[in-house]
Amino acid sequence: MSVEFSPPTNIPTGINPTVVITADLNRDGNLDLVTNFADTNTQVNTSGKTGVSVLLGNGTGQFGAAQNYAIERSSPNLLYQQFQQAIEEQFQQYQKFIQSLPPGAVVPPFNPPTNPYSPTLINPVTIQTIATADVNRDGKVDIITAGTLNVTEPQGSFSISKQRSVISVLQGDGVGGVGPATNFLIDGVESAGSIAIADFNSDGNVDLASVHSGAYILGGNPALRQQVSILSGDGKGNFGNERVLSVGQNTAGIVAADFNGDGRSDLAISTFNLYSYSSSANITVLLADGTNEFTSAGTFPANLGGADLLVADLNGDGRLDLASAGGFLLGDGTGKFGAPVYSSTSAPLVAGDFNGDGRLDFATGVSGGYGPGGVSVLLGNGAGNYSYPAQVTSGATPLDIATGDFNKDGKLDLVTVGYVSGTLLSVALNATTSSDALVITADVIDASSETSGGLKLDLAKKTLQLGAISQTLNGSYGSIRGTVQADQISGSKGKETIDGIAGNDVIVGLDGNDRLNGGFGNDTLTGGKGKDTFTFMSDGLNYQTIPFNRSFGVDKITDFTPGQDKIELYRDLVD
């Protein structure tokens, strides 16, 4: 089935949102939105501050006005203290002076200068990530953020500004509001980015794990970019007893899940080489023993990138897999993962069943550069194969994306924060109907969005069958795209480009100078008469090359003619 979304609706919120999540904060059964703001302009209640914005949903796809909650940390202003100390020293000198005056002399008044500094500094928190959990076990949803804080610390007779990682907790009141933020400084991570929430020490309380955001910080501490910081919760909303684990490479993302089936929450961390981000990206898996101790299950080459690390069963084998920008790794149920399977996903990334066929799909951001972007959906077949991305919304280039059923119609909708001439919060409602996905134009037959069944097509006999669709063809078609299921595609006497997309396909070019591409899966390719080109492992829609390896399937050419036909093999060009 295909997938469709309504045009995005922009929703007013705070300035410069970069993160968005969904949760039911007021316990009314409707999903609400939580995003961040970083207000450098003049706006009521938020000027010069950072924090989170809460937008309560009404269950129809609409959301109320943003309620803004600042996240900041007060600290003594050392410049104020130093100025006051200078005044005190001047007063002591004044007292010595008047004591030295002869009897009867006129005593001048002491007129100290006005201290231009505030006694207290208000330091806003730069937010990288937002999550929710019940941290104090009162049955209400609380908000947790991870980010950085500039703190002023003494250094001799001077004060310096230093960046510190911080976890902020805003406890929910159960009716949609939250209280003031409580901040917990982290020593083991330089710039807190992704966070994972689970009970790592088996005490029944929510714990937190955080990693570095992946950003390069001039003059920072490289060791702190390669560590995981774990904070234990006390069940009252407080976090401490920091435990630091080193993973040996710069971190970007983290998720918690039970990867080996022992009932404990393990960790998966995406890592990368600072100087070669995409080609050196790995996934490190740490298995938990339930007492806050972890052992490594291995570091698995991924060649994927980004902090959007997702956990799901992508191929229906009951074992958890990992997905990130560019592809996914299939798990074996023991905490180990296989070779990466590449896809046309990018960051940001979210998973869900968007067309209602019971199979997991991906929604991913589309970059528009300085122009409009949007969201594309890749439909899954339940066996680990995904369709080409089909753009379903246009508008801002997404910085973050989340999903949920906002209008309670049983379909997953999308919410994004993105940039196009300013940052926007946008909601797109799912408008998918139960129909087979097939596009037929004057020269193209495209079934790449269909996931529930394979395409049976014979251009010579002019017959087509796809699910409930069975029809006779009238035109001549030069470009054919199959489905992610097993297809049977046979060409005509003309010149055709046939792409099986995925699945174990049988493709016959017949006569003509044809171009055949089996795509993913174990395919059988027959060129027939003519000068045919057999293409392996290319993603022609997105002009990306994919590594040539057996994890994508083993194809068979039945009639290769030396000197006439040719084979195109694509290798990974990012080495």
Does 489 fall in a domain?
yes
Predicted confidence band of residue 557 (pLDDT cuts 50, 70, 90): confident
Angle at the Cα of 169 from the Cα atoms of 167 and 170, rounded to 5 degrees: 150
Does 351 fall in a domain?
no
User: Length of the chain, please?
Assistant: 575
Does 499 fall in a domain?
yes
Please list the residues that pair with 489 across neighbouring strands. 457, 507
Does 426 fall in a domain?
no
Does 294 fall in a domain?
yes
List pLDDT tens digits, range 289-324: 999 999 999 999 876 666 778 999 999 899 999 998
Q: Are strands 533-536 and 413-419 parallel, antiparallel or unpaired?
A: unpaired
pLDDT, average across residues 534-546? 46
Among 294, 320, 346, where does a domain finish?
Answer: 320
Does 393 fall in a domain?
no
Based on the number of CB atoms within 10 Å of its own CB, is 556 exposed (0-12), middle (13-18) or buried (19 or more)? exposed
List pLDDT tens digits, range 543-554: 333 444 455 566
pLDDT, average across residues 170-199? 90
pLDDT at 21: 97
Among 320, 337, 372, where does a domain finish?
Answer: 320
pLDDT, average across residues 338-349? 82
What distances in angstroms separate CA 167 from CA 15, 182, 195, 228, 387, one per listed residue?
21, 8, 9, 14, 39
Provide the domain count of the chain: 2
What distances in angstroms separate CA 340 from CA 40, 323, 451, 475, 534, one per listed residue?
42, 9, 22, 40, 24
pLDDT at residue 154 tops 70: no
List pLDDT tens digits, range 93-135: 989 988 898 988 888 899 988 888 777 666 778 898 999 999 9
Among 297, 320, 343, where does a domain finish?
Answer: 320
What is the domain extent for residue 211? Answer: 192-320
Does 491 fall in a domain?
yes
Does 536 fall in a domain?
yes
**Residue 250, helix vs strand vs coil:** strand
> Residue 226 is part of a domain; what is its CATH number?
2.40.128
Rounding to the nearest 10 degrees, give the CA dihedral for residues 279, 280, 285, 286: -160
Q: What are the structure tokens assigned to 31, written together?
A: 């999903």
